[in-house]
Amino acid sequence: MIARMTHSRSQELFAEALRYLPGGVNSPVRAFRAVGGTPFFAQRAYGSHIEDIDGNSYVDYVCTWGPSILGHAHPEVIAAVKSAADRGTSFGIPNPLEVDLGRKICEWVPSVEKVRMTNSGTEATMSAIRLARGFTKRDKIIKFDGCYHGHVDSLLVKAGSGALTLGQPDSAGIPAALAALTLALPFNNIEALRHAFAQNRGEIAAVIVEPIPANAGLILPLPGYLEAMRELCTANGTLLIFDEVMTGFRLGRGGAQELLGVRPDLSCFGKVIGGGLPVGALGGRAEIMDYLAPLGPVYQAGTLSGNPLAMAAGLAQLKVLEEQNVFEKLEQLGAQLEVETRAALKTAGLDYVFYRVGSMFCLFFTSQTVRNLDDAKTSDLKRFTRVFHGLLERGIYIAPSQFETGFISAAHTQKDLAQTSEALTEALRA
């Protein structure tokens, strides 16, 4: 049974937003262009729920696109932010929390010996590319179709996430000469990677990849794929960069690289380490990281990098993750959601593909095995749109795009999962 919701205030505010903000939003996927309709405007979030300005409450599987791993407004994170704010919101000079969070990241991720804080995942990947080029003295980079690494000029080539959602995997405003330095390859195809190295011998500075791509839906690497990638990079003097903005500190203490047993040269982080505040980080081997200014010739800076509010929130969140065995709980919740999703599909007579790793998941509206972007694009987008709105009207909020990943938080409950299962079963029938 659908509990009828009203969205009049959100509709009115969106109409006003269109006057002042391009597309009415400050990040494209929020506009609901892929699914139609008017986006809702949030006024508060608590635990596993988000509430809009019309008073509707939703079980939230977007989780601020990942960082709310403990749930929204976790009391220890909020207390840490309030305490830090009482001492000043920004200093523009080193503060002790930067060192504390840097130490924590290095302790949790074996491949990281030194770390540089940034303000976003985009800044982290942008800096990683510049650092790799400066360290290797090469210009070309390799990325993979559907992997999104932020809105960096060099990386908005066959990108995922919002770029893919809007049907624009590239962007205007990027010089062709710069785009020509980026080689975009299909994910999970090691022969394509071998060929690229052979055709560009001695020219490739870095290979950047989401070890578990989460911006074209959720795609799992084939056995041996990342290991072969690591070997090719080493053999060719190329740096391997893991973009763990989505997976870092969500899939375990050491992120996807610990889970998969492959060690990169550089890693990019964001989302979880800020406790929901704007933050990113770039880390890796000391000899590479020391190429950054002020020690080395690669310039990177940021007035708000290491901001005390973000550092305090990140430290508080990682502390709870460490002390309360949150990763085990997330795996249990994820496993239950998977069982119930597969049961809903069976009830509806559908053989759609469902992938999950830990607390990250995606239901592809296709029966075809999804191993790369082309496979993901076989999804039935019209059916996804109907189900998206069916879930929303039943109080379940998932990402407004087939090409995004869902997230579970430690605040989700058995009641939340039961409501989700019932809503999905009904929405699939509609």
CA–CA distance, 295 with 275 (Å, rounded to integer): 30
Closest alpha carbon to 397 in 22, 82, 123, 35: 35
| Encoded tokens for 276 | 């929901």
**Sign of torsion, CA 376 224 145 220?**
positive
Q: How many CA atoms lie within 13 A of 151 on its CB side?
A: 8
Concerning whether 137 is annotated as a catalytic residue, the answer is: no
Phi, psi of 282 (to 5 degrees): -125, 130
Tell me if 409 sits within 8 A of 63, measured CB to CB. Answer: yes
- State the catalytic residue, choosing from 58, 143, 145, 148: 148
Please name the helix (run of DSSP H) or strand (run of DSSP E) that holds residue 117, with its range, or none. Answer: strand 114-118
Tell me if 166 sits within 8 A of 234, measured CB to CB. Answer: no
Sequence-separated (6 or more) residues with CB below 8 Å from residue 26 = none
Tell me if 211 sits within 8 A of 220, measured CB to CB. Answer: no
CA–CA distance, 40 with 31 (Å, rounded to integer): 9
Nearest 5 degrees, angle CA 195-CA 372-CA 26? 115
Tell me if 228 sits within 8 A of 190, measured CB to CB. Answer: yes
CA–CA distance, 24 with 16 (Å, rounded to integer): 8
- Our separate counts of H helices and E strands in the chain read 15, 14
Concerning whether 271 is annotated as a catalytic residue, the answer is: yes
Interior/surface letters 244-257, b for 16+ CB within 10 angstroms, e for the rest: bbbbbbbbbbbbbb
| Encoded tokens for 197 | 């190295």
CA–CA distance, 270 with 245 (Å, rounded to integer): 5
- State the catalytic residue, choosing from 52, 60, 145, 243: 243
- State the catalytic residue, choosing from 114, 140, 158, 271: 271
Q: Which residue has the tokens 């055709």?
A: 199
Q: Which residue has the tokens 């210009």?
A: 139
Concerning whether 243 is annotated as a catalytic residue, the answer is: yes
> Which amino acids are annotated catalytic?
148, 243, 271
